[in-house]
């Protein structure tokens, strides 16, 4: 008899929506937002995710079953900081169920799990581990002030040549930062601009 996965993870929320950010923007995706984060971004828009103990623990079997109920076969694991948890069993189970596994992480914890796409969004508050830089498919820098553009270049020097480079304005500072970002990308065409289109579409 096939062994059942009975591990559990703290889950703040899970929902089927449209991926609003980054390289895969516009694709249908099932999001699993895990509880727990020790990075502490001052502008974080999901601070309620930080305390893992405040969120129910849900079995991996249930998470896979919920994700499988929808036609889109892309699952995004986010947080909080999802790599605070061992994601080996979750990603294996999702892939066995025919789904693609994506992660959005600060890279501040060891990389676990098997991933089809790794979006690394490093934070100044707690730098990524070297292994996360090396395996990133996408580098997404949140731009809160103009100094973040210089920091973005420093971060780009840590990832592989094939890693996509994206700049994304912090939502509350979008009007101020976007003109600077547009000029920067025009002068530095390795970079692209990512917007939080799910907020324009008014979807989760």
Q: Is the pLDDT of residue 143 over 60?
A: yes
Q: Is the pLDDT of residue 2 over 60?
A: no
What are the boundaries of each domain within the chain?
Answer: 8-201
pLDDT for position 64? 98
pLDDT for position 135? 98
Question: For the domain bounded by 8-201, which CATH number is listed?
Answer: 3.20.20.70
Q: What is the mean pLDDT of the segment spanning 119-138?
A: 95
Work out the mean pLDDT of the chain and round it to a whole number. Answer: 94
Poorest-confidence range of 20-24, 66-70, 200-204? 200-204
pLDDT for position 6? 54
Q: pTM to 2 decimals?
A: 0.93
pLDDT for position 1? 43
The 3-state secondary structure of the chain reads CCCCCCCEEEEEEEEEEECCCCCCCCCEEEEEEECCCCCCCCCCCCHHHCCHHHCCEEEHHHHHHHHHCCCCCEEEEECCCHHHCCCHHHHHHHHHCCCEEEEEECCCCCCCCCCCEEEECCECCECCCHHHHHHCCEEEEEECCCHHHHHHHHHHCCCCCCCEEEEEECHHHHHHHHHHHHHHHHHCCCEEECCCHHHHHCCC
pLDDT for position 105? 97
pLDDT for position 3? 46
Q: Is the pLDDT of residue 21 over 50?
A: yes
């Amino acid at each position: 008899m096939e062994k059942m996965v009975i591990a559990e993870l703290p889950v703040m929320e899970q929902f089927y929506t449209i991926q609003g950010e980054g390289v895969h923007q516009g694709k249908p995706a099932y999001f699993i937002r895990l509880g727990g984060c020790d990075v502490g971004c001052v502008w974080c828009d999901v601070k309620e995710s930080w305390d893992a103990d405040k969120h129910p623990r849900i079995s991996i079997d249930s998470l896979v079953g919920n994700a499988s109920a929808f036609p889109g076969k892309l699952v995004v694991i986010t947080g909080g900081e999802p790599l605070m948890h061992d994601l080996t069993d979750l990603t294996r189970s999702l892939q066995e169920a025919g789904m693609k596994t994506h992660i959005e992480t600060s890279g501040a914890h060891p990389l676990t799990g098997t991933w089809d796409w790794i979006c690394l969004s490093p934070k100044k508050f707690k730098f990524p581990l070297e292994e996360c830089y090396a395996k990133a498919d996408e580098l997404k820098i949140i731009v809160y002030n103009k100094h973040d553009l210089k920091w973005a270049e420093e971060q780009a020097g840590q990832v592989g040549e094939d890693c996509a480079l994206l700049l994304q304005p912090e939502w509350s500072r979008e009007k101020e930062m976007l003109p600077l970002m547009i000029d920067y990308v025009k002068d530095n065409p390795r970079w692209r601009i990512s917007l939080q289109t799910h907020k324009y579409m008014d979807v989760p």
